[in-house]
């Protein structure tokens, strides 16, 4: 009888431990839908934190703009009403000015160049600047190269953009880039873009292929022109006060798991681009290469000059000359 009672007590204890509430219950917000490759990396991040912490950490994901727009997330992270967010690096520049260097037009030669810079000393410098602004940066995640999508027709030269209203993120370098190319930049939250294109409030937007597909933008803007005018990685961040107050082992766990999620995402991104383009073509999207990018380079030359006093000419030069 005593043995049976002991077994019952051990079983009850095991069930209690298995169903115990997590010690840390956090939220992670993203504007991207759960079909996007970034979301898969965020699921991995949440699952790995739960596994490594033995269930002490529960990270609940809120994709597809359920908690607002990226500007809302960044402000909520600062005051502590949101613990984690996946945002674009673009709007982060409003809070840590040197981050705006990431969004400068045509500064990245390719994604390999971007990886080496942002995962090296320059990336650490930018993270330190963000830390001073009151945020904890965790990882950069590939977002490819941004190109222009319109409902009006293909873009082959800056002249084709004249008078077109093009949606951009709330990022001054992007606003200035589109304006320098001859378009009229319209800052707007991601969740508003589809209806704005549908109702002709805007004529186009600029983004990467997976994001076009995730939001079915080919239905309302079917011309995709490879301007590749900028490459602005996504960014995983958290509340700095929360991070600083955690035990050292949990801080290390979060940082390492974020880097693992970044590596997983970057691999997923590279694997899916060709398939994404094929899917978009099957859905009626029309792609065109810009034959002479030199006209675009000349048009945006003044944007770098404008940002030298803000981000530092030394920082721009260090990125441009990085091997």
Residues 168 and 316 in one domain: yes
Q: Is residue 10 part of a domain?
A: no
Distance CA 106, CA 50 (A): 39
Residues 51 and 104 in one domain: yes
Residues 244 and 106 in one domain: yes
Q: Is residue 132 part of a domain?
A: yes
What integer is the mean pLDDT of 204-228?
Answer: 96
pLDDT at 16: 47
What integer is the mean pLDDT of 270-295?
Answer: 95
Residues 259 and 288 in one domain: no
Residues 227 and 237 in one domain: no
Check pLDDT > 70 for residue 284.
yes
What number of CA atoms fall less than 13 Å from residue 6's CA on the CB side?
A: 3
Residues 100 and 186 in one domain: no
pLDDT at 248: 98
Smallest CA-to-CA distance from 126 within 110, 137, 134 is with 137
Check pLDDT > 70 for residue 261.
yes
pLDDT at 134: 96
Q: Is residue 291 part of a domain?
A: yes
Check pLDDT > 80 for residue 2.
no
Q: Is residue 5 part of a domain?
A: no
Radius of gyration of the chain (CA): 22
Residues 204 and 161 in one domain: yes
157: left (phi over 0), alpha (psi -120 to 50) or beta: beta
Query: At 250, which CATH number?
Result: 3.40.190.170
Check pLDDT > 90 for residue 18.
no
Check pLDDT > 80 for residue 309.
yes
Q: Give the model's confidence band at 295: pLDDT under 50 very low, under 70 low, under 90 confident, else very high.
A: very high
As a whole-number percent, the residues of the chain with pLDDT over 70 amount to: 94
pLDDT at 100: 96
pLDDT at 19: 57
Check pLDDT > 80 for residue 259.
yes
Check pLDDT > 70 for residue 12.
no
Distance CA 15, CA 17 (A): 5
pLDDT in tens, 156-172: 999 999 999 999 999 99
pLDDT in tens, 74-122: 999 999 999 999 999 999 999 999 999 999 999 999 999 999 999 999 9
Q: Is residue 197 part of a domain?
A: yes
Q: Give the model's confidence band at 142: pLDDT under 50 very low, under 70 low, under 90 confident, else very high.
A: very high
- Locate 145 and state its tokens: 């190269």
Smallest CA-to-CA distance from 222 within 146, 144, 281 is with 281
Angle at 100 between CA 167 and CA 90, to 5 degrees: 40
Q: What distance lies between CA 243 and its chain's CA centroid?
A: 21
Q: What domain range includes position 82?
A: 22-143+232-276
Q: Is residue 2 part of a domain?
A: no
Residues 197 and 73 in one domain: no
Q: Is residue 174 part of a domain?
A: yes
pLDDT at 4: 54
How many other C-beta atoms can be found within 10 angstroms of the C-beta atom of residue 54? 10
Residues 296 and 254 in one domain: no
- Locate 6 and state its tokens: 């002991």
Distance CA 280, CA 277 (A): 5
Q: Is residue 4 part of a domain?
A: no
Residues 220 and 294 in one domain: yes
Residues 39 and 115 in one domain: yes
Residues 259 and 126 in one domain: yes
Domain count across the chain: 2
């Amino acid at each position: 009888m005593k043995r049976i009672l002991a077994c019952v007590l051990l079983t009850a204890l095991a069930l209690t431990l298995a169903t115990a509430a997590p010690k840390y219950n956090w939220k992670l917000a993203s504007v991207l839908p759960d079909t996007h490759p970034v979301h898969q990396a965020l699921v991995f991040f949440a699952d790995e934190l739960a596994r490594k912490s033995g269930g002490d950490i529960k990270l609940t994901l809120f994709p597809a703009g359920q908690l607002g727009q990226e500007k809302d997330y960044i402000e909520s992270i600062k005051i502590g009403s949101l613990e984690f967010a996946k945002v674009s690096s673009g709007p982060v520049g409003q809070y840590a000015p040197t981050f705006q260097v990431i969004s400068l037009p045509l500064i990245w030669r390719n994604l390999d160049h971007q990886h080496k810079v942002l995962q090296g000393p320059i990336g650490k410098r930018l993270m330190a600047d963000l830390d001073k602004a009151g945020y904890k940066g965790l990882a950069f995640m590939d977002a490819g190269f941004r190109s222009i999508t319109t409902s009006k027709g293909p873009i082959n030269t800056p002249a084709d953009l004249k008078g077109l209203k093009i949606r951009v993120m709330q990022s001054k370098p992007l606003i200035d880039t589109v304006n320098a190319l001859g378009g009229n930049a319209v800052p707007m939250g991601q969740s508003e873009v589809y209806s704005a294109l549908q109702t002709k409030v805007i004529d186009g937007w600029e983004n990467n292929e997976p994001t076009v597909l995730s939001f079915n933008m080919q239905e309302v803007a079917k011309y995709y022109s490879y301007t590749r005018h900028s490459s602005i990685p996504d960014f995983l961040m958290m509340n700095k006060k929360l991070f600083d107050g955690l035990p050292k082992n949990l801080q290390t766990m979060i940082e390492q798991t974020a880097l693992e999620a970044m590596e997983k995402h970057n691999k997923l991104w590279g694997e899916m681009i060709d398939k994404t383009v094929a899917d978009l073509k099957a859905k009626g999207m029309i792609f065109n290469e810009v034959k002479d990018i030199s006209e675009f380079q000349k048009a945006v030359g003044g944007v770098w000059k404008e940002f030298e006093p803000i981000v530092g000419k030394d920082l721009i030069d260090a990125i441009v000359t990085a091997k």
